[in-house]
Amino acid sequence: MEKFYTDDEAARAHLESLLWPDGPICPRCGVINEATLMQGKSHRPGLYNCRPCDKPFTVTVGTIYERSHIPLHKWVYATHLMTASKKGISAAQLHRMLGFGSYRTAWFMAHRIREAMKGSSGTAPLGGEGQVIEADESYYGKQESPPTLRSDGTPFKTRKYKRQTNMYGSSQKRPIVVLVERGGKARTFHVAEANRETVEKILAANASTDSRLHTDESHLYKRMGKRFAEHASVNHSKDEYARGDVTSNSAEGFFNVFKRGMTGVYQHCGEAYLNRYLVEFEFRHNTRTKLGVNDKERAGLAHKGAAGKRLTLRRPAHSQPSV
């Protein structure tokens, strides 16, 4: 086991090497490698003083680890566990493996680490010339079984029953739209309703129209598809899953991993948290071994993400979550 999983000093050195490859960076003035390490017992470990602005700082300033009473090596270990488990790791399991704190501490840590995993597909439109983007929508969440009998005990007629399931489908389950670059990255969207308007907005903002667009037979993509270099679809209702290289298997594969993880590992997820779990599965997809990223590098990317939240996390001290 790496020393930085069990030793605080090693964990700090590890984070410094990841976040400061060219020397300490002052979070206030941004200068690199112009700080003095404050030696001596009266100083916190890893405390630097910036020579230009004469202000002290450490590697955790502005990161998700700042102001945390959790030892740094526990953060490093928890990040490793979360980024290396294919389907995620439950807070209960995390709590057991970290061997400290409470279930609630582990739960908070996991959500902070998900924060660090945000934005793994970048901000640029996905795809591009010669590339395939698969778009698909799916539903996640509780689905109450539709009533099969009327209150007077007579069965619904087929048409009425169908209308009923659709109504349940949109009100009980949570629609998710995913765009997947074939052999590349995925970006997910938790939407209020998966309708044509929503899907078109997502595609317009997140996909390069130079790409070839592959979907299933859904009518949602037909109009927007005309703006792409190509739009081809497979007809799942006719058991067609691939025709030549036309398929939406990557998008469905993403949903399969997500649903297996959510069902098997996380079990419960309030609507308010769905996006955070999507971020987590997206992160692992976008840093998967097939893209040449190993476990250590993947955890490193999450640590860098933790620091990348420096600016966005800067807010009045009273609103800082105390994890």
Does position 50 interact with Zn ion (CB under 5 A)? The reply is yes
Q: Of all helices (H) and strands (E), which one includes residue 277? A: helix 274-286
The yes or no reply on residue 29 touching Zn ion (CB under 5 A) is yes
Q: How far is the CB of 52 from Zn ion (least distance, A)?
A: 5
Stretch that binds Zn ion, among 28-36, 64-72, 214-222, 291-299 (CB under 5 A): 28-36
Please name the helix (run of DSSP H) or strand (run of DSSP E) that holds residue 116, with its range, or none. Answer: helix 103-116
Assess 25 for contact with Zn ion (CB under 5 A).
Answer: no
Cβ nearer to Zn ion, comparing 52 with 155: 52
**Does the footprint of Zn ion cover residue 191 (CB under 5 A)?**
no
Cβ proximity of 237 and 256 under 8 Å: no
Question: Measured from the CB of residue 213, what is the shortest distance to Zn ion in angstroms?
Answer: 48
Alpha-carbon distance of 211 to 230, in angstroms, equals 7
Amino acid occupying residue 310: R
- C-alpha 170/C-alpha 62 separation (Å) is 40
Kindly compute the dihedral angle of the four CA atoms of residues 18, 19, 22, 28, in this order, to the nearest 10 degrees. -170
Q: How far is the CB of 169 from Zn ion (least distance, A)?
A: 55
How many Cα neighbours within 13 Å face the side chain of 168?
14
53 belongs to the binding site for Zn ion (CB under 5 A): yes
Stretch that binds Zn ion, among 52-60, 125-133, 248-256, 273-281 (CB under 5 A): 52-60
CA distance 179 to 151: 42
User: Which tokens belong to 88?
Assistant: 């995620």
Phi then psi dihedrals of residue 260, to 5 deg: -65, -40
Helices 72-84 and 103-116, packing angle to 10 deg: 70
Which range in 53-61, 150-158, 226-234, 314-322 contacts Zn ion by CB under 5 A? 53-61
- Which of 6, 7, 8, 28 contacts Zn ion by CB under 5 A? 28
Smallest distance, Å, CB 48 to Zn ion?
A: 9
Count of CB atoms situated within 10 Å of the CB of 61: 19
Q: Of 18, 26, 113, 279, which lies in the binding site for Zn ion, with binding defined by CB under 5 A?
A: 26
Q: Which CB atom, from 29 or from 242, has the smaller least distance to Zn ion?
A: 29
Nearest residue (CB) to Zn ion, 30 versus 321: 30
- Residue 83 to residues 195, 216, 282: CA-CA distances in angstroms? 33, 31, 11
- Region binding Zn ion by CB under 5 A among candidate stretches 48-56, 113-121, 241-249, 282-290: 48-56
Cβ distance to Zn ion smaller for residue 30 or 45: 30
* Min CB(25)–Zn ion separation in Å: 9
Among residues 11 and 50, whose Cβ is nearest to Zn ion?
Answer: 50
**Rounded Cα gap, residues 188 and 271, in angstroms:** 15
Strands 242-243, 230-234: pairing kind? unpaired
If binding is defined by CB under 5 A, does position 262 make contact with Zn ion? no
CB of 29 to Zn ion, least distance (A): 3
Q: To the nearest whole angstrom, how small is the minimum distance from the Cβ of residue 54 to Zn ion? A: 8
Residues near Zn ion (CB under 5 A) are: 26, 28-29, 50, 53
